[in-house]
Amino acid sequence: MTTALRFDPIRLPSECVKLREEVRAFLAEEIAAGTFSPFKPNREDNDAREFSRRVGARGWLGMTWPKKYGGHERSYLERYVVTEEMRVANAPTRRFFVADRQSGPVLLKYANERIKMDILPRICRGEVCFAIGMSEPNSGSDLFAAKTKATRTDGGFLINGTKIWTSSAHIADYMIAIFRTSPPTNENRRHGLTQFLVDMKTPGIKVNPIGQITGQFEFNEVVFTDAFIPEDHVLGEIDGAWKQATSELAYERSGPERFLETYYVLTELVRAIGPSPDTRAAEGIGRLVAQLHTMRRMSVSVAGMLHAGKEPVVEAAIVKDIGTIWEQQLPHRVRDLAAFVDENASNRETLENQLAFAIKTAPKLTIQGGTTEVLRGIIARGLGLR
């Protein structure tokens, strides 16, 4: 076969079973204490600052990182369990999720020792929130069109320009961003961008919230005007960010958050339909559960390959492609099936509210973190078509 894809039937190891119980018990306590409601996926009104610290105190942030930086040297598969349980419970993970999944690993790889010793333990304690500064007004999927400039000055760089659609920038302590340090070359249009660590308290940074169709204000415009970044905040190679961006993506693309974002509507549908579904409802639920189970098995398989040190770039892109389309369609399928639910079902209002939110959330799922079109391009390249 020229195109062999691998999805070995990886099972989570036994240490994950106990961990899962611990996470569930912790989340049940948090729900009981009123930190959040599993029935309300709209987390806007929750200040999750303290929740974030309590998750850190449990040792569930920086799980895979070295102990010397506050990490716990546990496996990617254990982290996987924590992530999926948090997602299914609709826990407010916004304050720590990006730092834990993405920013921490970038710092581990590219930051100097002083920065690592300073920031990584704080991420592990759930004290700091990160944002990712990639998109710009005229550079979204086409990352390498970024124009925001980093100009050399005494002891560092001055940043000028605008990032946009930056999730959590309004609450973030730091941003990891790419800025233009040189123009692209004729041979390589990806040349000339550099990755930086940005302290969001730096003078010259203005964050403007942008309202979303869900009614939330999760993403922002971030304007840089002569914002100074010290030399040692450069992450990796000057002009060489394009070499650094790709390896993280397999982690970013294949996790449980890529198919569980709207899972809650399925639970509520099953509750509303009750123990004796008619044929139509039974078939609908059965198909959705089969699809969900399959998605999860694919995602766990990729996690297992990452755990084993492989780089399943195409497999990860496939998980995000079909996972995000599935979670995008899920509220619409649930709506179909809910059409004949008993008017008096006790959770009818909950389901209706959830559906309204999930249907409004759905469009972003196939855009954020790499659009469907970009993913299919990556898959096509992996198949030898490009």
Partner 1 sequence: MAEAENIVVETAERIFADLADAQTINRDTKGGWKAPLWQALGEAGLPLSWVSEEYGGSGASLADGFAVLGAAGRFALAVPLAETMLAGWLLSQAGIDSPEGEMTVAPASPRDRVTLDTDGTLTGRARGIPFAKEAKHLAVLVQDRRGKALIALVEAAKCRIEQNLNLGGDDSDTVTFDRVTPAAIKPAPEGFDLTSLLLMGAVARSLQIAGSLESMLDISVRYSNERVAFEKKISKFQAVQHNLAKLAGESAAALAAATSAADAFAGGATADAAFLEAASAKIRCSEAAEKAAAIAHQVHGAIGFTIEHILHRYTLRALAWRDDFGSESYWAVELGKRVAANGADELWPLVASR
Sites of contact with partner 1 (CB under 8 A): 1-5, 7-9, 11, 20, 84-85, 88, 263, 266-268, 270-271, 273-277, 279, 281-287, 289-298, 301, 314-315, 318, 321-322, 373, 375-377, 379-380, 382-386
Give every CB contact of residue 20 below 8 A, 6+ residues apart in sequence: 81, 85
Taking the complex as a whole, how short is the minimal distance between the CB of residue 385 and partner 1, in angstroms?
A: 4
| 103/109 Cα distance (integer angstroms) | 10
H helix runs in the chain, sequence order: 15-32, 49-57, 76-88, 94-98, 104-110, 113-124, 241-254, 264-273, 279-307, 313-338, 348-365, 372-382
Instruction: Name the residue nearer to partner 1 (CB basis): 213 or 339.
Output: 339
Taking the complex as a whole, how short is the minimal distance between the CB of residue 36 and partner 1, in angstroms?
A: 17
Instruction: Name the residue nearer to partner 1 (CB basis): 50 or 373.
Output: 373
Taking the complex as a whole, how short is the minimal distance between the CB of residue 140 and partner 1, in angstroms?
A: 17
285: which 2 tokens?
């639920």
Instruction: Name the residue nearer to partner 1 (CB basis): 177 or 298.
Output: 298
Instruction: Name the residue nearer to partner 1 (CB basis): 112 or 329.
Output: 329
> Tokens 């909950």, residue?
350
Taking the complex as a whole, how short is the minimal distance between the CB of residue 270 and partner 1, in angstroms?
A: 4
Q: Phi/psi of residue 42, each to 5°?
A: -80, 100
Taking the complex as a whole, how short is the minimal distance between the CB of residue 135 and partner 1, in angstroms?
A: 22
Taking the complex as a whole, how short is the minimal distance between the CB of residue 88 and partner 1, in angstroms?
A: 5
Instruction: Name the residue nearer to partner 1 (CB basis): 23 or 198.
Output: 23
Instruction: Name the residue nearer to partner 1 (CB basis): 200 or 317.
Output: 317
The region that residue 367 occupies, defined by phi over 0 for left and psi between -120 and 50 for alpha, beta otherwise, is alpha
Classify 188 as helix, strand or coil.
coil
Q: Are strands 130-133 and 174-180 parallel, antiparallel or unpaired?
A: parallel
Q: Phi/psi of residue 357, each to 5°?
A: -70, -45
